[in-house]
Chains A and B, each alone.
Chain A
């Protein structure tokens, strides 16, 4: 089971900035282990962020996104205390959803 994400959302002048740090191996499938076997690819493929039920960002990742992916984006609106929910899904079907209140 994947570890929780760290989500920070801060509202300023009517714009909310969201920063997400996910905990994921992001294995490319190109790397070999010490005995020369390919390490199978394991990476986040899709991510969705919503604010009050409205989608504010959708992303698709390839294995070229760094281990423990970081993502930052901004959207118009958002008041203190509103919930921002981020969920991701990886290529092995694992998924994770976390939320944070806008500060």
Chain B
């Protein structure tokens, strides 16, 4: 845990221009987007990705819903939506367990933005799809299996 905290601090210190903007009050610090989170996007497996995001082993939550088809005919375009009734949602991440790199997307939600995002992802094969939500400083997760009949990778 301590190591992760250090990494988070390091990333925070490296914000550069965004950090200066934050200091100048142009944008609030919590809204300043760190550079693309390469370590998380290239972490590979679900466990490593969760570790790279500093989420550890998040608890399951029934308050998060994943809006995705049970069976996706085309793995190249799988509509995935995540919504939650949890209060104080800071970020939502979409993870696909069996993709080469599990992390598909991260959304940072400033105050006033509803915890309800939809996008489309590629899935190489049938896999569990996880929604990782950071709410009130805590990580929570939900899972849904999506069966893929035609993979989206390799083409």
| Chain A interface (Cβ < 8 Å from any Cβ of B) | 15, 26, 28, 30-32, 45-46, 48, 54-67, 69-77, 91
Chain B residues touching A, range: 35 or more
A sample of 20 cross-chain residue pairs with beta-carbon separation below 8 angstroms, ordered by A number, consists of A30-B100, A31-B153, A32-B154, A57-B109, A58-B31, A59-B107, A60-B36, A60-B41, A60-B106, A62-B105, A64-B96, A65-B104, A66-B122, A70-B79, A71-B118, A71-B119, A72-B119, A73-B118, A76-B112, A76-B113
Contact of A64 among B37, B99, B112, B113 (CB under 8 A): B99
Q: Least Cβ distance of B8 to chain A in Å? A: 15
Residues of B within 8 A of A (CB): 27, 31, 33, 36-37, 41, 76-79, 81, 96, 99-101, 103-110, 112-114, 116-123, 152-155
Do B121 and A56 touch (CB < 8 A)? no
Given A30-B153, A65-B119, A66-B77, verify A48-B33 contact (CB < 8 Å).
yes
Known: A58-B31, A73-B116, A73-B117. A28 touches B122 (CB 8 A): yes
- Report the bound CA distance from A57 to B119 in whole Å: 13
Number of A-B contacts (CB under 8 A): 107
- B41 near A62 with CB under 8 A, answer yes
Asked if B120 contacts A59 (CB within 8 A), the reply is: no
Chain A residues near B101: list those with CB within 8 A.
Answer: 62-64
Pair A64/B114 contact, Cβ less than 8 Å? no
Q: Which B residue's beta carbon lies closest to that of A64?
A: B104
- With a cutoff of 8 Å between Cβ atoms, the chain A residues found around residue B76 in the complex are 66-67
Nearest Cβ on chain A to B94's Cβ, whole angstroms? 8
With known contacts A58-B107, A60-B106, A65–B120 Cβ distance under 8 A = yes
Instruction: Determine how close the nearest CB of chain A comes to the CB of B93; give it in whole angstroms.
Output: 9
Inter-chain CA distance A83–B61, complex, in Å, is 36
Given that A30-B153, A46-B33, A74-B114 are contacting pairs, would A66 and B120 also be in contact in the complex, using a CB cutoff of 8 Å? yes
CB-defined contacts of B96 to chain A, threshold 8 Å: 64
CA distance A100 to B82 in the complex (A): 24
A34: min CB distance to chain B, Å: 11
Smallest CB separation, A96 vs chain B (Å):
16
Q: Select B113's contact among A57, A60, A61, A71, beta carbons within 8 Å.
A: A57
